[in-house]
Amino acid sequence: MNSSSNQTKAYDFKTRDIKVLKKLLPYLLKMRARVIWAVSFLMLAKLANVAVPLALKEIVDSLDQTNIILVLPLGMLLAYGLLRLASSLFNELRDAIFAKVRYHAMNLIALGVFRHLHTLDLSFHLDRRIGGITRDIDRGTLSVSTLLSIFVFNILPSLFEICLVIGIMWLNYDLLFAGVSLLTVLFYVALTMAITTWRMKYRYQMNDMQSEANTNAVDSLINYETVKYFNQEKFEVDRYGETMQRWEELATKSFTSMTALNFVQGAVIAIGVTIVLIMAAQGVVDNSLSLGDLIMIQALLLQLFIPLGGLGIIYRQIKHNFIDMNNMFDLLDRTSKVTDIANASELKVTQGEVKFDNVSFAYAGKNEVLSNINFVLKPGQKVAIVGPSGAGKSTLAKLLFRFYDISSGEIHIDQQDIKQYTQDSVRASIGVVPQDPVMFNESIYYNIAYGRAGATEAEVKEAAKLSFIDSFIDSLPQGYDTLVGERGLKLSGGEKQRLAIARVLLKNPSILIFDEATSALDSYSEKMVQKALASLAHNHTTLVIAHRLSTIVDADQIIVLGNGTIVEQGMHQQLLDLNGQYARLWQIQVNKQDQT
């Protein structure tokens, strides 16, 4: 990230921190009772803790007497022990009560972000790198727990204890004692905040480098085969190493600057404590204070500055966690470009007719991809879309599935404009077999059953049978329990295609989209997939985006796209008789087959 970007982040940091707190508050309010109990135990623990020096003063004063018979102050000693025990007990009760708040908030936020990511449109996921997103979520949810812990276990106790200590010194001794102690605290806090804010630029840059390294590593490992195909192992390692080298330099700068901050903090505390103790010692010499008072003031100062000594680390952690949570909450601020209208109803599909009515579309910041597209898929028909690369064939399928919303015109399913109905109901009526189907890194059974929640084992196996993949599955040692690997890498192209077909068969939608489903297959795999596609397309309205024209000669209608418009339309023989673009594409493919 460049310096100007870092300056912008630093400039609006307070605003962003407030935004994070506002977004965090609703999660805490859901468990307000536990929060109140935890804070109550916190206060009781600090009251007991601050009362310890008071008991210690009485013990010392009762023993520091001359010319009388000393009596063991057993009551005060027992009170001293009970106060320490109470402080420990209330702290443990606070931790136990608040644990549910921390982890429940983490759970709710992680679930909310994950759910929100699934609501965002396809363009967002194409633009973002998945490694960076998962890293932001991991750091963000961990920061929720850390930040809540800091506030409840460090900030609130420290503030409450500071107020108690300053109040006791004010009430029991000269105002100067409380004044010097308070000034030391304020000076310490001001210096800590100023220096830590200056150091934050290193943390921003470290986060960027770490996210970049993580994203590069994920990309490289996912594309392991491609790395091997091109002997790019050294390039990948060097790229990762360069990023980590920049991270190392920034981490070193961050740590060394922290040592300067620690010295300044230590110096402030040392000066403040020394001044107060000199004043207290002088009071003992002047007989205005007892030895017990000196011991009590020293104990109070320890209780004041021991938690304050960790405030620098705590403040840095707060800032760091705010950065990480900002990145995560920024994901929640992203909105989908494809949204349902208010009170959208469910699409009802009875026939499966699809109509493109004067449809035009352009991707964001680009020229128009489709212009004034008009055609109809009658119920049960097979309509094929052909044309050169970049003509807009796959875009038509994405628009029908509402991955994007059209720029103008309308798309109807059974005379219903799909923009007026919920995305879920539109997509429930459509099944897609893509050119490169992606499998989950789970079992074959899981990947087929993914097509319909609650499907029985018999239905899953029937879908496999209809897609001509059952014999292959049965030949595997682990059968349906066989893991397919990351993105299905353990399967061949034809096997993945037939599994994808089985999955769509199980879904059993009214409308089917085959997006160049056989373009990258060998002859045998293509034949098997074609049989499975024919089985799937029976009694369904089917849109086929074709690269190999031989696979769509039986289509009821063939639409030829060129430069985003329909240039030809008709059945196979009709288009050949026109001797136009389709005929030229057909001739090119026939010649290729003859040459092979």
Q: What's the average model confidence in pLDDT over 227-238? A: 86
Q: Which two tokens stand for residue 214?
A: 């993580």
Instruction: Establish if 464 belongs to a structural domain.
Output: no
CB of 510 closer than 8 Å to CB of 352: yes
Q: How far apart are CA 200 and CA 254, in angstroms?
A: 8
Instruction: Give the tens place of pLDDT for each residue, 103-125.
Output: 777 777 778 778 877 777 777 76
199 pLDDT higher than 60: yes
Say what the pLDDT of residue 566 is: 92
Instruction: List, edge to edge, every strand of the sheet that includes 382-386.
Output: 430-433, 511-515, 541-545, 382-386, 557-562, 565-570
Q: What's the average model confidence in pLDDT over 496-514? A: 88
Task: Output DSSP code: residue 65.
Answer: -
Q: How far is CA 30 from CA 24, 25, 34, 37, 503, in A?
A: 11, 9, 9, 14, 40
The residue with tokens 């404590």 is 273
Q: What's the average model confidence in pLDDT over 536-553? A: 82
Say what the pLDDT of residue 567 is: 92
2 pLDDT higher than 50: no
Say which amino acid occupies 256. Answer: T
Q: What's the average model confidence in pLDDT over 462-468? A: 86
Between 163 and 61, residue with greater pLDDT: 163
Q: Please, which residues have CB within 8 angstroms of residue 540's CB and are 6 or more apart in sequence?
A: 352, 380, 509, 510, 511, 512
Instruction: Establish if 316 belongs to a structural domain.
Output: yes
Q: How far is CA 494 from CA 30, 398, 491, 502, 567, in A?
A: 50, 23, 8, 12, 32
Instruction: Establish if 325 belongs to a structural domain.
Output: yes
Instruction: Give the tens place of pLDDT for each residue, 265-295.
Output: 888 888 888 888 888 788 778 777 777 777 7
- Percent of the chain past pLDDT 90, that is, above it, reads 15
CB of 582 closer than 8 Å to CB of 386: yes
Q: How far apart are CA 75 and CA 66, in angstroms?
A: 21
Task: Output DSSP code: residue 345.
Answer: B
What global pTM score does this model have?
Answer: 0.64
Instruction: Give the tens place of pLDDT for each residue, 382-400.
Output: 899 998 877 888 889 889 9
Between 413 and 218, residue with greater pLDDT: 413
Say what the pLDDT of residue 312 is: 64
Band (443; pLDDT cuts 50, 70, 90): very high
Say which amino acid occupies 308. Answer: L
Q: Which of 32-46, 269-283, 432-446 has the lowest mean pLDDT?
A: 32-46
Instruction: Establish if 533 belongs to a structural domain.
Output: no
Q: Which of 9-23, 213-227, 270-284, 460-474 has the lowest mean pLDDT?
A: 9-23
Say what the pLDDT of residue 16 is: 64
Q: Residue 593 CB: number of other CB atoms within 10 A? A: 9
Say what the pLDDT of residue 420 is: 92
Say what the pLDDT of residue 592 is: 64
Instruction: Establish if 371 belongs to a structural domain.
Output: no
Q: What is the CATH number of the domain that holds 63?
A: 1.20.1560.10
Say what the pLDDT of residue 55 is: 66
Say what the pLDDT of residue 576 is: 92
5 pLDDT higher than 80: no
CB of 595 closer than 8 Å to CB of 584: no
- Percent of the chain past pLDDT 70, that is, above it, reads 85
Instruction: Establish if 224 belongs to a structural domain.
Output: yes
How does 270-291 read in b/e, with b if 16+ C-beta sit within 10 Å?
eebbebbeebbeebbeeeebee
Q: Which of 338-347, 379-388, 399-408, 521-530 has the lowest mean pLDDT?
A: 521-530
CB of 507 closer than 8 Å to CB of 536: no
Say what the pLDDT of residue 296 is: 75
Instruction: Establish if 69 belongs to a structural domain.
Output: yes
Q: Which of 157-171, 403-417, 519-533 has the lowest mean pLDDT?
A: 519-533
Q: What's the average model confidence in pLDDT over 521-537? A: 69
Q: Residue 173 CB: number of other CB atoms within 10 A? A: 20
Instruction: Establish if 567 belongs to a structural domain.
Output: no
310 pLDDT higher than 70: no
Element (H, E) at 545: strand 541-545
Between 569 and 25, residue with greater pLDDT: 569
358 pLDDT higher than 70: yes
Q: Residue 301 CB: number of other CB atoms within 10 A? A: 22
461 pLDDT higher than 70: yes
Between 420 and 201, residue with greater pLDDT: 420
Say what the pLDDT of residue 1 is: 41
Domain assignment of residue 133, given as a range: 20-333
Split into its structural domains, the chain has a count of 1
Say which amino acid occupies 84. Answer: R
426 pLDDT higher than 80: yes
Band (311; pLDDT cuts 50, 70, 90): low
Between 98 and 245, residue with greater pLDDT: 245
Q: Which of 12-16, 395-399, 471-475 has the lowest mean pLDDT?
A: 12-16
347 pLDDT higher than 70: yes
Say what the pLDDT of residue 390 is: 79
349 pLDDT higher than 50: yes
Q: How far apart are CA 325 and CA 138, in angstroms?
A: 10
Q: What's the average model confidence in pLDDT over 502-517? A: 86
